[in-house]
Structure 1
Amino acid sequence: MTRRTVRIAVNGVTGRMGYRQHLVRSLLAIREQGGLDLGGGDVLWPEPVLVGRREYALREIADRHDLSEVATDLDAVLADDSIDIYFDAQVTSARVEALKKAIAAGKHLYTEKPTATDVAGALELARLAQDKGVKHGVVQDKLFLPGLLKLKRLVDGGFFGDILTVRGEFGYWVFEGDWQDAQRPSWNYRAEAGGGITIDMFPHWEYVLHELFGRVTSVNAHITTHIPQRWDERGKQYAVTADDAAYGIFQLEGGVIAQINSSWAVRVNRDELVEFQVDGTHGSAVAGLRNCRVQHRAATPKPVWNPDVPLTESFRDQWQEIPDNAEFDNGFKAQWELFLRHVALDEPYHWDLLAGARGVQLAELGLRSSAQGRRLSVPKLSL
């Protein structure tokens, strides 16, 4: 067996997503399983180089996980010919400049979304990477969640008949930070730092809708800030400049209508933090992060509207749980493995910077739709 080492500059590892999902549950998990089996006796071994601004924080993480290399000089890291891949999980406002540097240095790159704060910047990154000939990928983790994998199984198997509508509910109450600490960093609520729920979540909804049901062709959105004042990590009050709720209606190629609500100011009254209900002529499904329930037309009850008598049936009990029928790995890890195979073996991979640009485009048009109070077409992007 031959072990091939791939050195990965991981920028933003001190943040929640960079540390928990990408370092611990993806790259280190791949190492714990003995590396990534490439077949033919070859194993790919990821070697993270932790990059950030605070050396003490990087060193603490490195020591905790028995890693040897940390760096605070991104330019020096990118100038190192032994670095194969640059990964970015920084705040959105810092991402474009770093990705441009990585492309110019000839590094393959993998990045969190959104790739930029506007579609022009996102398309520029895609063109630069294409011209440079580097491989590139964008995190689209929700496609690899067990609940959505089960939902895709239903779509591919023709369970729904003609799909009519998709309804999504996402969100939870993020504490304001005064009497209880907020669960999200304060930059998420500052537009000048790339914050806002629209730029955060509409890219997710774009790829979920695109991959499962069809390309988004129009958007009609209402975007707002429900809570105008919050308290940051130091307990200092600040004015919220970014949106914390986005309500969107999307028309898809083929005529499917999708409606998705996203909010950081909603208390959860559903089984999971995100749920999608899909209704078709032959059946319906409700999918969350892990679970998926269905109701076929042959098993659909006949409710009758009568507000004058007590309800005698439990509607939730009338749905059937879809079995796992497979072992589901962490979604971030699963996509990392596909990208690493793309780099090592040139296997096909389509979750690239152009796909990332589509997500930024939908967020940009959603914000514009809300500001103008009208439905906007979503042009097809190309390089």
Structure 2
Amino acid sequence: MATQRLGLIMHGVTGRMGMNQHLIRSIVAIRNQGGVALANGDRLMPDPLLIGRDAGKIEALAKAHGIARWGTNLDSAMADRADTVFFDAGTTQMRPTLLAQAIRAGKHVYCEKPIATNLSEALAVCRLAQAAGVKHGAVQDKLFLPGLRKLDLLKRAGFFGRILSVRIEFGYWVFEGDLQPIQRPSWNYRQEDGGGIILDMVCHWRYVLDNLFGEVQSVSCLGSTHIPERFDEAGKPYRATADDAAYATFQLAGGVIAQVNSSWVTRVRRDDLVTFHVDGTHGSAVAGLTDCRSQARVNTPRPVWNPDTRQTMPFFEQWQEVPDTQPYDNGFKLQWEQFLRHVAEDAPYRFTLPEGAKGVQLVEAALTSWKERRWVDVPALAL
């Protein structure tokens, strides 16, 4: 058994998602476990080079996690043939330019979503990657959540029968910054900086709906900026120009209807910060990030509508938990391992840049629906 090195440029890992999910819980965790197992028995060991603008911050991050290589010169890193993969978790606005630079330098590319702020740029990057013959991928982490993997298990087992509808409730209260400190970056609420919950979350809903319940065919969406003024990291007030909530209905292949509420201005009274409720002819299930509960046709209770008496039926207790039948590793790490195998041994991989572009396509359709107050069809993506 041999160990193969894979040089990896990681850009944008001083941010919350890049640092926690991609660096610490994925690449560092993979290194600590001895690399990724390949089909021939070898181990693939990622050797990351951390690139950022703040030398002090990037050096401290590297040292804290036993990473020898770091720097601030992205152009120099791109020119080094010893590093064959480029990863980006920086700002969405910069992403198409950075991906194009990496592709032209002959790098395989992997990135956070959205892959661009508009479909034109997303498609341009996809075409560039395909023409260059490099490997490419976009993060689609929600599919690896234990809760959604359990929903997928129920679906593959035929538990739902014919799926009728899906209801997704996502969100929590993000503090404005005056009474309590903010817990999301202020740029999330400035459209000019790439903010907005439609751009952020509809990309997620595209791959979740496409892969689990049916390809998206059309959308009706209403967005809103409910909180017009917020306070930034320094406590300075600013005008919120991006949507902080979105209320959408999607028509899926096979006649499935999906209703999706996404909000940073809602207070949670449900099982988790996001819940996925699936109704089918033979059964229903509700999943959160980790747990999933089901109710079969033969176990469905018979409630009686009577508005004159207090409801005594314990609805939450009438669902059966879907057990953990296997260990569930971090979803970001699992997708990283798949992509690294794809690069090293051409293992099958389906979460490519065109799949990421589909998310941007649906974002544009949702924004058009909101602006024009109408249903918008979502055609097959033409590359």
TM-score range normalised by the length of the shorter chain: over 0.9
Q: Would you say 1:228 and 2:228 are equivalent positions?
A: yes
Q: Give, in angstroms, the shift of residue 41 of structure 1.
A: 3.0
Q: Give, in angstroms, the shift of residue 195 of structure 1.
A: 0.8
Other-structure match for 1:153? 153
Q: Give, in angstroms, the shift of residue 224 of structure 1.
A: 0.7
Q: Would you say 1:237 and 2:237 are equivalent positions?
A: yes
Q: Give, in angstroms, the shift of residue 262 of structure 1.
A: 0.1
Contact 1:230 1:238 in 2 (8 A): yes
Q: Would you say 1:202 and 2:192 are equivalent positions?
A: no
Other-structure match for 2:88? 88
Q: Would you say 1:334 and 2:342 are equivalent positions?
A: no
Other-structure match for 1:250? 250
- Give the distance between the partners of 1:241 and 1:155, measured in 2 at CA: 40
- Give the distance between the partners of 1:233 and 1:325, measured in 2 at CA: 43
Contact 1:10 1:51 in 2 (8 A): yes
Q: Would you say 1:367 and 2:357 are equivalent positions?
A: no
Matches within 5 A, 1:1-383: 1-383=1-383
For residue 84 of structure 1, give the secondary structure of its aligned residue in structure 2: strand
Q: Give, in angstroms, the shift of residue 327 of structure 1.
A: 0.6
- Give the distance between the partners of 1:103 and 1:374, measured in 2 at CA: 38
- Give the distance between the partners of 1:17 and 1:48, measured in 2 at CA: 17
- Give the distance between the partners of 1:149 and 1:382, measured in 2 at CA: 30
For residue 4 of structure 2, give the secondary structure of its aligned residue in structure 1: strand
Q: Give, in angstroms, the shift of residue 48 of structure 1.
A: 1.0
Contact 2:272 2:289 in 1 (8 A): yes
Contact 1:11 1:52 in 2 (8 A): yes
Extract unaligned runs of 5+ from structure 1. none
Q: Give, in angstroms, the shift of residue 139 of structure 1.
A: 0.3
For residue 279 of structure 2, give the secondary structure of its aligned residue in structure 1: strand
Q: Give, in angstroms, the shift of residue 76 of structure 1.
A: 1.1
1:174-193 superposed Cα distances (whole Å, 9 cap, x missing partner): 01112211111111111111
- Give the distance between the partners of 1:226 and 1:337, measured in 2 at CA: 40
- Give the distance between the partners of 1:293 and 1:231, measured in 2 at CA: 39
Contact 1:354 1:382 in 2 (8 A): no
Structure 1 runs (4+) deviating above 4 angstroms are: none
- Give the distance between the partners of 2:163 and 2:41, measured in 1 at CA: 44
- Give the distance between the partners of 2:117 and 2:193, measured in 1 at CA: 10
Q: Give, in angstroms, the shift of residue 39 of structure 1.
A: 3.5
Q: Give, in angstroms, the shift of residue 17 of structure 1.
A: 0.4
Q: How many pairs were matched up?
A: 383
- Give the distance between the partners of 1:291 and 1:371, measured in 2 at CA: 37
**Aligned-pair RMSD on alpha carbons?**
0.8
Percent identical pairs in the alignment equals 58
Aligned residue identity for 1:127: R
- Give the distance between the partners of 1:374 and 1:257, measured in 2 at CA: 17
Aligned residue identity for 1:319: W
For residue 349 of structure 1, give the secondary structure of its aligned residue in structure 2: coil
For residue 254 of structure 2, give the secondary structure of its aligned residue in structure 1: coil
- Give the distance between the partners of 2:179 and 2:308, measured in 1 at CA: 43
1:52-88 superposed Cα distances (whole Å, 9 cap, x missing partner): 1111100110111121111212111101111110000
Contact 2:117 2:199 in 1 (8 A): yes
For residue 254 of structure 1, give the secondary structure of its aligned residue in structure 2: helix
- TM-score w.r.t. the length of structure 1 is 0.99
Contact 2:9 2:51 in 1 (8 A): yes
For residue 381 of structure 1, give the secondary structure of its aligned residue in structure 2: coil
For residue 93 of structure 1, give the secondary structure of its aligned residue in structure 2: coil
Contact 1:244 1:264 in 2 (8 A): yes
Contact 1:219 1:251 in 2 (8 A): yes
Contact 2:303 2:313 in 1 (8 A): no
Extract unaligned runs of 5+ from structure 2. none
Q: Give, in angstroms, the shift of residue 382 of structure 1.
A: 2.8
Aligned residue identity for 1:291: D
